Structure formats: structure tokens, C-alpha cells
Amino acid sequence: MGKRLVVVGGDAAGMSGAAQARRLDPDLDIVALERGTRTSYSACGIPYLVAGDVSDADALVARTPEEFRREHRIDARVRHEVTAIDLDARTVEVRNLEHERTFRLGFDHLLIGTGARPVRPDIPGIASDHVHGVQTLDDGTRLLDVARRSRCRDAVVVGAGYIGLEMAEALHRWGARVALVEAHDHPLARTLDPDMGARLVDLIGAIGIECRFGERVRAIEPDRVVTDAGPARADLVVIGLGVEPEATLAEAAGLDLSVRGSISVDRRQQTSHEGVWAAGDCADTFHRVSQRRVHVALGTVANKTGRVAGVNIGGGHAGFPGVVGTAITKVCGTEVARTGLSTAEAERAGFAVATAVVETTTRAGYHPGAEPMVVKAIAERGTGRMLGLQIVGGQGSAKRIDTAATAITAHLTAADVVELDLAYAPPFSSVWDPVQVAARAVLRSV
Amino acid sequence: MGKRLVVVGGDAAGMSGAAQARRLDPDLDIVALERGTRTSYSACGIPYLVAGDVSDADALVARTPEEFRREHRIDARVRHEVTAIDLDARTVEVRNLEHERTFRLGFDHLLIGTGARPVRPDIPGIASDHVHGVQTLDDGTRLLDVARRSRCRDAVVVGAGYIGLEMAEALHRWGARVALVEAHDHPLARTLDPDMGARLVDLIGAIGIECRFGERVRAIEPDRVVTDAGPARADLVVIGLGVEPEATLAEAAGLDLSVRGSISVDRRQQTSHEGVWAAGDCADTFHRVSQRRVHVALGTVANKTGRVAGVNIGGGHAGFPGVVGTAITKVCGTEVARTGLSTAEAERAGFAVATAVVETTTRAGYHPGAEPMVVKAIAERGTGRMLGLQIVGGQGSAKRIDTAATAITAHLTAADVVELDLAYAPPFSSVWDPVQVAARAVLRSV
């Protein structure tokens, strides 16, 4: 009889880990417990479901419990909630939500992939029926329903993070009058420099989305949202205030916690307890540039860290080297991306910082598809080492962030980036790629 | 009185160098001599001019002689052909093509940017009026004229290199029936692996362009091209058989030559003669992966090497570290890119090679804009070092080659690439970027 792996949470991190462990260890008994109704779905796809880009919720499901059972011999059970972890006894307490029955399950390995929960501040009216979160696929289908009904004429999105921006686009495309309310002065305030944020505000405003930045929500009423600057009509409110790690179970079990209450893990994704692993949005991770522990709730990290945990559980050896802080999104035709450290993050991490902003185009200037593109490069003064890059621009601009993410990972300097052999043809780029134009500009002040 | 720089050839390499030298040395006397009628134009833009994407030929001109004179105090003269270089006397012999007058000009520094000339094999009929090259802007305007006249119903493009593919698209979009004739079995034969080339053939064929690969042209007749497999109707023939370095002047002057007859230069772009520099398509360069001298005729390299020469001429210090072999193009909706070494190139360079091909999509599979994308990764057996990557796919696929170009430059392994923090959101990518999917696949066989 093989050992047993119990997976808590049936989404990206947990199920990547389970599938990887299965690949390495065919004898492992694997039980995956998910309190919701679905496994392994793309939470990042929810805004596109709501926007109507994706035909139906099932399209976002990468693998059903049946597929996990059939193709991977993983006993994946939905509507099963783990309610407690006993580290000494090496058991979990499980509640079958269908049959209201509780049982215990022993484990040799435990993989915690409990994800994150949306931040819900204590605002009067936030629990009303017309206030929606965008966390689960069920949230998404409910929202799609509401958006489709043309009753909804006025929508307020609270929070201009990635999900907030994507939801503002989705509702705008359904024809709603959308106001975006954000306490900070600009969108993506935690990750984008203020000057780049200001450019994004201009572009979002030009789409026809009302930008109400620097306003705090005081109350949500049946037909409006009241901020400290006044009311905004709203028969639909979407809350996109970010997430925090869901580590309640881990904390109660006595596992060490880390930044923002995430579960502390090592390079192998092992928690403070031998044979107990955590991955994805519930765990902390390492930032390769600041060299600090951070909490990053992104699908890419969940997939990668889940896979690393799975390799180690399956008897292999893998380490997750960390993130460099890459993120990307779009609002209608405007794309935005960032990687590395922002100016403020770099300064907090102890770097002396040089920056440069360049205005360029996505293609050769004379090519009809060329759109404006602004790039900000952040480098270390003295060494010239690339620390960060930010992009706001038209179609085809943002994914170039990968060039910078790769350069930053490899510790390249701005001079190295200028010398890179990047692809050029008029429909794809200017002859000096915009990332190189920015690197050349920052060179002058390092 | 400052020293004098004479520039031979008024295009990307020469004029980048001249402008850069001016920036560093305000006292330099700079004379740039161009035998054609224009300076500093985008030769890479010619297919897009012919396609009708670009409004007129002037749009492709980055800077006119007047602008060079006014903004950079560079005495840029068109219709001036350098006919000889005397290295000992440090003079050039110049023919003013307007006034049929010849004079000598002394130099302290000489920058040779004579570019490349199109390969024109000795085929009967190749000098006919309906046979066009695509080298100069004048070629482009002539071709645009012909393409516009709907007389042209049948076009044959000879050569399926980058320019050949781009011209096939341009003529196809004007409604011509286009046949692409190529002696090799697949397009981009020198740079793309045969299996990736075969995929490209399928996609080009699906567009409606007749692919006649593995056929050699025997004769060009007034209304047809005759290959060894039979005739192809043609009232317009475009020759896109690549280029060879234009080093006639340099050779006659006694400068050392290198691969394919290009001018031999060092890291600073200096030729075998002190104070005589060469850059762009006429010079050789260094391949950072094969570590061999190569000849690469691309606008990016011309701009970069011209700039390096200019820095050194202006009294600064700069070195060009070389290329990694990046190139990109598209044929209608099909994009293609490559970087590093092909499988054959890697083997010739002495690497033990592992390869993997993956079929993936440009965006999250469920996103409506997702298009097929095939990626081939080439890595070194044993070390896992990334040696090359090739992409054939739909819109948004090819520019990702930059991730691989950066990784290869930084000597990253396939495992390093899998760990990169690349940007993901459903409209931009699958959660594992296609480049990483390919790297993960090749890991299994290194």
C-alpha cells in the first residue's frame, strides 16, 4: 500500500501538485478535497466570462473531478471542506457538504492549496444583493446574468487593481455606464509607478469609464455608492479590492505564517512541518530582485509552485526560485504590464534608483497598425542593473514585458538590454525595440 | 579645424554612425556620401509600401539630407558615389552623379556602410522589364505602381526568404495569383528547421499562395517562369533570393574580407586598417552562440553596429557583442520567428542537440482570440542550455521570440526558462507561456 497525499483545495496549485506527484509516484494514494463545486478552473478567466468573451463557465474548467479520477487516478471530491488539520496525528477533518457528514482522513503528505479570499472592508451595505465579488466561478456566472439583463445601466467597480480594471472593461462592453472608484490616486497603485498610473487613468477615461480616483467608499446604498467625494449611481456594484491569503486552517493547525498572513514555505514549498506543503495564493514566495519574502496571488505562481510541491511529494527534487513581479492586463484597447520592482519598491529594497520614460510605438512608426506605447525603465544607479520595467500602450505592447522579466532574472544591465538581438520587422516593432529604447534612455542617468 | 569623417553609404549603418559621432564630437567635420537619391530609409519597409500599408515612399525615410544638415551638421550628399578608397593617402574618390564630376576627399576616419546587393543568378530573362528586385526604395515605388495596375494577374516570387515571403503577401493582397518558387524544400531554408518550415508551407498554402518548393528556375519568359518542374504563368516576377555584402570598394582598397565576402571588422567595428570602420550589411559580425563570424543583413544589426562605430569614431569606447540570430516576419495572418541556432547550425557548431516541438495557443485556449502556435526549442544535451527557438503561429505569437533571444543571450538553461516569471492573463497567453511549454518539453530529452 502506497502512502497517501491529501490535497486541500482543488484549484491550480493543489491540482497541479496532485497531477505532478502522480506522474512521479504511481503508487501514491491521492485524495483532493474541494469545498466548491468545481476543480481546476481559471479564476483569471472570470472577467472574460462576464465580458461575454467566453461561451460558458465550463470553458474555464481545465479538468473536472471525473477527468482527474480517470486520467490521473486522483480521488477528487468536490463539496468536501477540510475543517481542521491535526499535524501530530497527521489527519484532516473533512465535512461532506452534500451529506452533512464529517470524517477524518490520514495523510503522509498534505498539500495546502486553499488560495486567497477577497478583501471585504466593513462598509455599510457591502453585503447587499447588488454587490458582487469576483472570486469563484459561481460569482462569475451570477455577474454574467446580471450584466446581460439590460436593467443594469449604472455600475460601480470598487478597486482599480487587475480584477477591478478587467471588470470595468467587461461591464463597459455590456453597455453599462461604469464608474471606477479607487482610494489611491491611480490604478494598480501597489505595482505601477504614479506617472505610469496617471497615463493609464487618461486612457481609461478616454474609453468612457468614469475614473474616480482618490475617493473612499463610505456606504453602498440600493441605487448608489457614496464616496467621500459624493454619490455615484449604481444598480450594480463589483468589489475588486484584491485578495488576502486564505491560511485560516494552516494557522489554526500551528503552521508558521509569513507576510500578509500567508503560509511560510521554503524553496521546496514545504511548510514549517515536515511533509506538509503549501502552494499558490495561500503561501508566501520569494522575490528574486528585492530578495524578500512576498505574497503574490497569481495563476502562474500557483501553477508553478504547485508543480514544485508535487515533484517533491512524488519523491523528486525541485525548488521554486521565486518571482520577479511580472503582471499584465488590459482595459479595452489599452494594455498594461510591469515586472521587477517599481521605483518605490526598489528604494524600499535599498537600491539607488535611476529611471527613464520613453514614448514610442508598438510597430514601425509608418506602419498603419502602430499605436502609442510608453515604457518606463528602472535601473540601479552605479551598476546599471535592470530592476524593473513598466509598459502602458496599445495592442501588442504589454507582452514585451517578458523581455524585461527575462533580462531582470538574468541580472542583465541596461547596457546589456540595449545590445540584445530582439526581433524586428515593421509590423512587429520599431528597429530598436521599445524595451531597448527605454533601456538606452535609463543608461544616461545610471 | 576638427578632423573629418567620411561616410560611404547614407543608410542605416552609415547615418547611425554619423549621428552618433556627431553627438560625441561636436568639432568633427562629417561628410556622408550616398549614390542613391535618399538617405536613411527603412529598406525593411519596402514590402509594406508595395502592399499598400504605407502611404508613400517618403514615409519610409527616417531623415532627409536636409535634416541631417540642419539637425546634426552632417554634410549629407545624395547622388554622390564613392568610386575608390586610397587607404595610404586617406582619401576617397567621389563621383557627383548629377554633374558627372569626380573629386577627391581626404578623411581622418572612414565609415563604410555600403550595405548589400541582391543576389541575381544568371537565369535567362532575369534582366527583363517585368522582373523586379526589392532592394531600393525606387524598386519599391516601381513595384507598387505595377501591383496597383490590375493588369498584373499572375505573379511569381522567386525565393522564399524573408523578403520573398513578405512580397508574396503584398502581391496576394493586391489580388494577384501568386506562386512562390523556391529551390529548397521549405521557406526560410537557411534559418528554419525543416519540420517548422513544413508547417509554414501548409499555412502559406492555406492563404491561397501557390507553393512551389524544391523547384529551380530555368528561365524567365515574357509571360511565364519556367522551373525544372514546369512553367508558372507570370506577368510580374519578383526576385527575393537574398543579398550578399557589397564590399567591392573595400576589397579593391585592400581591406581584409571575411565570411561570404563581407568586410572583416573587430568588436569596435574597425576594419583591418586603423581609422577605417565598417558597419551594417557590408560587414561581418559575431554570433554569440556559435561563437563564429557570420554575415547578417538586418536593419537592427545595421543600426546597432553603426552606432558602435560612431561612438568609437567620436572618441568614446563601444563594442558590439554580436547577434544571436533573431529574425521575424509574417505572411498574412501567419507569423514566424527564430532565434539562436537551428538544429543543423547547432550541430555544425559542435553542440549535442536535443529538440522538442509543442503545439499550443497564443492565448488561453478558451479565449476567443486564441490561435494555434507551434514552438520548437533547441537545447544542449547535458547542460540543458537553450540554443535556439522557432515559432510558427497566429497573431501575437512571433514576437515572443524575444524571451528566447534574451534567455539565450544570458546563457539560461531550459530549466531556467521554465522558471521565468512571464506575463499571463487570458487575452495574452496560456498560464504557462508557450515558450516555457517548449522549454519544459525539451527538458525531458536533454
d(CA B278, CA B270): 6
pLDDT of B2: 83
Whether residues A133 and A204 fall in one domain: yes
Among candidate residues B239, B273, B302, the one where a domain is terminated: B239
Q: Please state which of the ranges A59-68, A164-173, A394-403, B143-152 shows the lowest mean pLDDT.
A: B143-152
Dihedral sign computed on CA atoms, order B228, B231, B233, B236? positive
Structural domain for B207, as ranges: 120-239
Residue B315 burial (CB count, 10 A): 11
Mean pLDDT (whole number) for B287-316: 97
> Is residue B135 a part of any domain in this protein?
yes
Same domain, B254 and B108: yes
Residue B49 belongs to some domain of the structure = no
Residues 6+ apart with CB under 8 A from B53: A367, A368
Q: Check: CB of residue A372 under 8 Å from CB of residue A394.
A: yes
Among B190, B209, B239, the domain boundary falls at B239
State whether residue A173 sits within 8 Å of chain B by CB.
no
- A406, A437, A440: best to mutate for the B interface, most B CBs within 10 A: A406
- Describe the strand order of the beta sheet including A4-8 as a list of residue ranges: A74-78, A29-34, A4-8, A109-112, A276-278
Return the sign of the alpha-carbon dihedral for residues B151, B154, B157, B163: positive
φ, ψ dihedrals at A179, nearest 5°:
-110, 135
| Average pLDDT for A259-286 | 98
pLDDT at A411: 98
- A10 lies in the same domain as A32: yes
Cα distance between residue B387 and residue B408, in whole Å? 6
Q: In the predicted model, what is the mean pLDDT of residues B238-259? A: 97
Cβ atoms of A284 and A265 closer than 8 Å: yes
Strands (E), A271-385: 276-278, 285-286, 293-294, 327-331, 334-340, 353-361, 372-380
Confidence of residue B1 (pLDDT cuts 50, 70, 90): low
Segment A379-427, tens digit of pLDDT = 999 999 999 999 999 999 999 999 999 999 999 999 999 999 999 999 9
Asked if residue A251 lies in contact with residue A84, where contact means CB atoms within 8 angstroms, the answer is no
Note the pLDDT tens digit of each residue in A211-256: 999 999 999 999 999 999 999 999 999 999 999 999 999 999 999 9
Q: Is residue B325 part of a domain?
A: no
- Whether B396 has its CB under 8 Å from any CB of chain A: the answer is yes
Give the SS3 label for residue B91.
strand
Residue A325, in any domain of the structure: no
Nearest to B134 by CA among B123, B121, B118: B118
Number of domains in chain B: 3
Sort out which chain A residues have CB atoms less than 8 A from B412's CB and list them: 406, 409-410
The reply to whether A32 touches chain B by the CB within 8 Å rule is no
Show Cβ contacts of residue B225 under 8 Å, excluding neighbours closer than 6 positions: B156, B158, B179, B181, B217, B219, B231, B232, B234, B237
- CB contact under 8 Å between A399 and B423, yes or no, is yes
Given the residues A44, A152, A211, A332, select the one marked as catalytic. A44
| % of chain A at pLDDT higher than 90 | 94
pLDDT classification of A152: cutoffs 50, 70, 90:
low
**Average pLDDT for residues A316-322, to the nearest whole number?**
97
B326 inside domain: no
Q: Which pLDDT band, with edges at 50, 70 and 90, does A2 fall under?
A: confident
Is the same domain home to A247 and A227?
no
Domain closes at, from B259, B279, B313 = B313
Is there a single domain that holds both residue A235 and residue A150?
Answer: yes
Percent of residues, chain A, with pLDDT higher than 70: 99
Question: Does residue A320 fall inside a structural domain?
Answer: no
Q: Is B299's CB within 8 Å of A327's CB? A: no
Specify the pLDDT at position A150.
Answer: 56
Does residue B50 sit at the A interface (CB-CB below 8 Å)? no
Asked about B44 being catalytic, the answer comes back as yes
Q: Enumerate the β-bridge partners of residue B109.
A: B5
**Lowest-pLDDT choice from A48-62, A85-99, A109-123, B321-335:** A48-62
Contacts of B407 in chain A (CB under 8 A): 406, 410
Q: Is the pLDDT of residue B353 over 90?
A: yes
Distances (CA, A) of B290 to B188, B243, B293, B345: 19, 22, 9, 8
State the DSSP string of B121-169: ---TTTTSTTEE--SSHHHHHHHHHHHHSTT--EEEEE--SHHHHHHHH
- Whole-number mean pLDDT of chain A? 96
Q: Are residues A139 and A154 in the same domain?
A: yes
Question: Is B20 within a domain?
Answer: yes
Q: Which of B44, B304, B421 sits opposite A426 (nearest CB)?
A: B44
Q: Tell me the CATH number at B421.
A: 3.30.390.30
* pLDDT score at B55: 84
Cβ pair A405:B422 closer than 8 A: yes
Closest chain A C-alpha to B308 CA, distance in angstroms: 10
B174 and B283 inside one domain: no
Query: Does residue A319 sit within a domain?
Result: no
* Domain CATH code at residue A299: 3.50.50.60
Give A186: exposed, middle or buried? Use CB within 10 Å, 0-12, 13-18, 19+.
buried
- Indicate if B354 and B292 belong to the same structural domain: no
Q: Which range is least confidently modeled, A103-117, B47-61, B302-316?
A: B47-61
- The distance of B364 to chain A (nearest Cα, Å) reads 9
pLDDT for the residue numbered A147: 83
Both B31 and B81 in a single domain?
A: yes
Same domain, A111 and A254: yes
Residue B152: pLDDT over 80 = no
Residues 6+ apart with CB under 8 A from A398: A328, A329, A330, A335, A336, A337, A391, B423, B428
Mean pLDDT calculated for residue range B97-104: 95
For A95, A399, A402, B153, B317, the CA distances from A442, given in Å and listed in that order, are 57, 21, 18, 51, 18
Q: Are residues B124 and B183 in the same domain?
A: yes
Same domain? For B124 and B234 the reply is: yes
**Which residue does chain B place closest to A333, by CA atoms?**
B427
What average pLDDT is seen over chain B? 96
Distance from CA of B123 to the nearest CA of A (A): 30
Dist. CA B189–CA A177, nearest whole Å: 54
What is the distance between the alpha carbons of residues A21 and A36, in angstroms, rounded to a whole number?
23
The average pLDDT across B362-387 equals 96
B419 vs A contacts (CB less than 8 Å): 304, 320-321
Under the banding of pLDDT at 50, 70 and 90, the label for residue B432 is: very high
- At residue A36, φ and ψ (nearest 5 deg) are -80, -165
| Nearest-by-CA chain A residue for B330 | A427
Yes or no: say if A42 and A299 are a contact pair by the CB < 8 Å rule. yes
pLDDT confidence band for B150 (50 / 70 / 90): low
Those residues whose C-beta lies under 8 Å from the C-beta of residue B198, and which sit 6 or more positions away, are B185, B186
